Chain A
């Protein structure tokens, strides 16, 4: 009998050493895909990440990911939804798709390019809701919920429900709204308004003469600055402002919270598939999702959330998500109707 170390023993030892060097226990490493994946990711050392989410929260996520896995350099390309899809389609068709990981807010558009993605499932796949995936390889890394935010310096009697937003006392030009054609996230809210709040909701709400903004970000900025005192906003956008100390408070309306699930996956063209999977695995893990909720005000598609943001109790606020077939089928017609009702020129 000799004391020679076999290749297998050597690899196992090296991986264990690698895991230990970044402070992971074996169980923790398994949560993120296991030691072998971590070691392979370390060798690749980088990923290119395409996202439709905003730069700032994404940078915060990357920074946190790098606390766990400092050896994976995440190079990010951020673009609005429509532009990102065009870029992906064109790059893929030309055989030059640079992205390892894609994260997009519009599941309808992502379904259209599902063949770009390879088979992938996070280690905790079974912990996720089944109804939010549009394709087996696309996962709800990011979950957003709509809320009502207001400037606490200007608004002492804020609306508590969506129906409150139809009251004349909140007009004219006091409410900031994101226009319906702005993208998949807003389209979810528009569907909710019509299907849950009633067919005449838009008409009643438009009567308050809200200020229309092209997207959520300028709306939140306008609300903080006092251009409008109330804003219909994604919770995470307002949450960051509040967390930083801005004069902002946020309410999850009791008559329902429309939810939008992103779709994220690893591309077939990925040059760094292990690092890509590790990045998504960490994001999809309990640890990653808890960070999303606590630091950035996202929600989660986990069946059992680690916790919820303040004011979000799914039993009270009635979370709502669209039926996917309707999400695709109704869009054009309803958005056109919304544009007419709100006098928005498209």
Chain B
């Protein structure tokens, strides 16, 4: 068995080992077909027709490119696409600056309280986009934002405007910086400092070393984080819906949402827009792979080392202050805004004095929230679906990541391409595709928690695989080869060599998947039932119901729950997840 499984790693060795490698690839491809190809085919079919394949059947399909022609000729789609690219491009640039800065500060400098900074850098991941946007609309609405009310009271002639392109870029940037941080902190920690030391001996300055040696060495991590954050932003609905709508700045996701909400809904058009989004993203993925391919980024080898720490002197307080400011901006201010909105009967605040009128505060929104039986059920369902997604999705993502990056298994390129496909499909559209695809399947999957979990696993597979692959890419093959020489089989090598070394990345990937599943809204909308209602859907219900008070109260509950759960996960993994990725150990 051991010898046969090694066929996955080196199938050319013997002909008789090939069948097992082939079988393994075939099994993965079948699974991916079920999770990705089949629903995406339904989406494509939807884009090429004006019918619902489930309702109208396959016999009456009238295949044509008319939806694509209509969409491509529509100036409003061009406008939404341009806005998407500007908002996500700007947001990504900001996310890279923030994420890279903090990962460097945490891993490679002697800034005080690095554990605190590491934790702070990951907190925005807990915050659902809709919640972040609602909080910032409370803070920085041009007319009634709390910050603007205070600025006005202070007599300063300035105001923030969250309802603008700049506002969206800023919110995207600060809330998606953790994606960049996760990748780059891990890479910086696992880096062999020999090259930096060589540069230092040659007389290069610290800044020069940073930009000519350190950052280029972790280029795949930066690129992966950058790409992932850009693509995730492209698929976000909550932030542009709350901040873009009042200023009429549509992006592709809000445009797609509008199409699905139309009476009658225009799903075929929405599917066409989604396919265009997939093509744009597919091109970006291709570009990233071209940039990364042909270079060696191995930084973990069979030699022990410890990355160097730069002594910043007095500047260490400056880097610490940066972290504090970031924490205030992404956590303290939005949380205060949610507390004000969640506890205040109404959010009309005439001036600063009215803000401190205690008579205006009550527990009414929390009472109403928990009077609704759906609230507790949605919390339970969310936890259940998050756990299932993280466990099963994590195993699948590791299997795919290992097969693609560490083996010569047959069909691994196809596995790579197929598993990357869902990255470009907005959740809302993926929800429709999965509804169409899976509702007709026998086995009673529809209406269960499992259909949600499978949709989340498929939807976030590229994110999870990328998170795990970064760790795998950095492990030199010589370590596995040493294990084989010592008689270990493939499973044994993975268990004793690969998994322990890749553990931070694997746990980070699973934690990321758990968080993404808990926050996921779009693909839940079509798949939940009265028994499987999740928190994100109920939160949107409250928001759409125009009750910012209950929305804020529920947001606080959700944020607190997430923080507790991540804390438990962190404790159980003994330094896995965020601290391993971003910690100082």
Residues of B close to A346: CB separation below 8 A: 76, 258
Q: Do A98 and B432 touch (CB < 8 A)?
A: no
Closest residue of A by beta carbon distance from B76: A345
- Tell me which residues across on chain A come within 8 A of B543, comparing CB atoms: 217-218
Give B538 Cβ to nearest chain A Cβ, in Å: 7
Q: Answer whether residue A39 sits at the interface, using C-beta atoms and an 8 A cutoff.
A: no
Contacts A54-B544, A187-B263, A345-B248 hold; do A96 and B432 have CB atoms under 8 A apart? no
Write the nearest CB–CB distance from A309 to chain B, whole angstroms.
18
Q: Does A85 contact B (CB under 8 A)?
A: yes
Chain B residue numbers with a CB within 8 Å of A91 are 439, 446
Q: How far is the CA of A214 from the CA of B263 in the complex (A)?
A: 13
CA distance A56 to B368 in the complex (A): 9
Which of B246, B261, B368 has a CB less than 8 Å from the CB of A81?
B261
Please tell me if the beta carbons of A224 and B261 are within 8 angstroms of each other in the complex: no
Instruction: State whether B347 touches A96 (Cβ < 8 A).
Output: no
Known interface pairs A83-B265, A237-B546; A90-B436 also in contact (CB < 8 Å): yes
Residues on A with beta carbons closer than 8 Å to the beta carbon of B371: 59, 63
Complex Cα distance, B377 from A59, in Å, reads 14
CB distance from B252 to the nearest CB of A (A): 13
A184 to B265, CA, bound (A): 12
Residue-wise interface mask of B (235-279) relative to A, using a CB-CB cutoff of 8 A (1 in contact, 0 not): 000000100011010100000001011111101000000000000
Q: Which of B80, B260, B261, B525 has the most CB of A within 10 A?
A: B261
The answer to the question of B73 belonging to the interface, with a C-beta cut-off of 8 Å to chain A, is: no
Shortest Cβ distance from A108 into B: residue:
B263
A227 at interface by CB-CB < 8 Å: yes
Given contacts A55-B542, A56-B550, A151-B348, contact A90 B55 (CB under 8 A): yes
Q: Is B392 an interface residue (CB 8 A)?
A: no
A181:B258 contact, CB within 8 angstroms: yes
Given known contacts A211-B246, A214-B258, A245 and B265 CB-to-CB distance under 8 angstroms: no
CB atoms of A244 and B345 under 8 A apart: yes
Nearest-neighbor residue (CB-CB) of B142 within chain A? A227
Neighbouring A residues of B321 by C-beta, 8 Å: none
A257 and B530 alpha carbons, distance in the complex (Å): 35
State whether B263 touches A89 (Cβ < 8 A).
Answer: no
Contact A153 B348, beta carbon cutoff 8 Å: yes
With an 8 A cutoff between CB atoms, is A220 at the interface?
Answer: yes
Verify if A225 is at the interface (C-beta below 8 Å from B): yes
Whether A96 contacts B439 by the Cβ 8 Å rule is: yes
Closest Cβ–Cβ distance, residue B143 to chain A (whole Å)? 5
> Any chain B CB within 8 A of the CB of A280?
no
Judged by a CB distance under 8 angstroms, whether A86 is at the interface is yes
In the assembled complex, the CB of B360 is this many whole angstroms from the nearest CB of chain A, namely 10
> Which among A54, A219, A221, A331 has the highest number of chain B CB atoms within 10 Å?
A221
Distance A229 CA – B74 CA, assembled complex (angstroms):
34
With A81-B261, A81-B263, A90-B55 already in contact, the answer to whether A224 and B348 are too (CB < 8 A) is yes
Once the chains are docked, how many angstroms separate the CA of A184 from the CA of B261? Answer: 11
The residues of B that contact A109 with a CB separation of less than 8 Å are 263-264
Tell whether A224 pairs with B347 under 8 Å between CB atoms, given A93-B54, A213-B245.
Answer: yes
Compute how far the CA of A326 lies from the CA of B511 in the bound complex, rounded to whole angstroms: 54
Contact A86 B260 (CB under 8 A): yes
Of chain B, the residue at the smallest CB distance from A81 is B263
The CA of A58 and the CA of B267, in the complex, are separated in Å by 27
State whether B541 touches A55 (Cβ < 8 A): yes
Cβ–Cβ < 8 Å partners of B550 in chain A: 56
In the docked arrangement, what's the CA distance between A212 and B264, Å? 21
Across chains A and B, the number of contacting residue pairs, with CB separation under 8 Å, is 162
> Measured between alpha carbons, how far is A237 from B446 in the docked complex, in Å?
34
Q: Are A222 and B246 in contact (CB under 8 A)?
A: yes
B261–A82 touching, CB < 8 Å: yes
A63 contacts across to B, CB distance below 8 A = 371
Contact with B along A76-101 (1 / 0, CB 8 A): 11111111011101111110101000
Interface flags for A135-166 (1: CB within 8 Å of B; 0: not) read: 00000000000000001010000000000000
Q: Which residues of B contact A212 (CB under 8 A)?
A: 248
Measured in the bound complex, the distance between the Cα atoms of B248 and A51 in whole Å is 28
Query: Is A24 at the interface (CB under 8 A from chain B)?
Result: no
B265 adjacent to A225 (CB under 8 Å): no
Q: B542 to A225, Cβ gap below 8 A?
A: no
B347: A residues at CB distance < 8 A: 221, 224-225
CA distance A108 to B265 in the complex (A): 12
Checking A82, A227, A245 against B345 with a beta-carbon cut-off of 8 angstroms, the contacting residue is: A245
Which of chain A's residues 29-59 have a Cβ closer than 8 Å to chain B?
A: 48-49, 54-56, 59
Give CA–CA (A237, B262) in the complex, Å: 21
Q: Which of these, A59, A78, A89, contacts B55 with CB under 8 Å?
A: A89
B87 at the interface (CB under 8 A from A): no
Check B440 for interface membership: any CB of A closer than 8 A.
Answer: yes
A183 near B263 (CB under 8 angstroms)?
yes
Partner of A80, one of B141, B246, B544: B544
Distance between B240 CB and nearest chain A CB, rounded to angstroms: 11
Within 8 A of A (CB), among B519-559: 525-526, 528-531, 533, 538, 541-548, 550
Q: Please tell me if the beta carbons of A220 and B546 are within 8 angstroms of each other in the complex.
A: yes
- Nearest chain A CB to B20 CB, angstrom units: 38
Contact partners of B144 in chain A: CB under 8 A: 225-227
Whether A208 is near chain B, meaning CB under 8 Å from some CB there, is no
A217→B79 contact, CB < 8 A: no
Asked if A286 is an interface residue, CB under 8 A from chain B, the answer is: no
Q: What does the 1/0 interface line of A97-132 toward B look like (CB < 8 Å)?
A: 010000000101100100000000000000000000
A227 with B143: in contact, given A78-B541, A96-B439, A247-B346 (CB under 8 Å)?
yes
Return chain A residues, CB-CB under 8 Å to B245: 213-214, 218
A176 (CB) vs chain B CBs: closest residue: B246
A80-B261, A215-B544 are known; give 10 further A-B pairs, CB within 8 A.
A55-B545, A63-B371, A83-B525, A89-B52, A93-B55, A151-B348, A217-B544, A218-B543, A221-B548, A224-B347
Q: List the 3 shortest-distance A-B pairs measured between CB atoms, nearest first.
A: A217-B546, A82-B265, A75-B530
**9 residue pairs from A and B, CB less than 8 Å apart:** A55-B542, A77-B528, A83-B525, A89-B55, A90-B52, A96-B446, A109-B263, A112-B264, A245-B346
